[in-house]
Structure 1
Amino acid sequence: MAVIEVCVYIDDELLAPALLPMLEAKARLAFAGAKYFPTFDIGYTHIFRITAWGRSPAEAQRRSQRKVGRFYRKMNQVEGFSTIKLEKREDFIHSNHNHSVTYEIMYVIEWTGSRTQRPDCPYPEYQQDLRKLGIAPETAEVLALR
Structure 2
Amino acid sequence: MLVRLMYASRAAESVGQDELPAILRQAKARNAAAGITGVLCFSGGIFVQVLEGGRMPVNALYGRIVADARHREVALLSYEEVGERRFAGWSMGQVNLARLNPALLLKYSETAALDPYAVSGRVTMALFEELVATASIVGQG
Structure with a larger share of its residues in helix: 2
Larger Rg: 1
TM beyond 0.5: no
For normalisation by structure 1, the TM-score amounts to 0.28
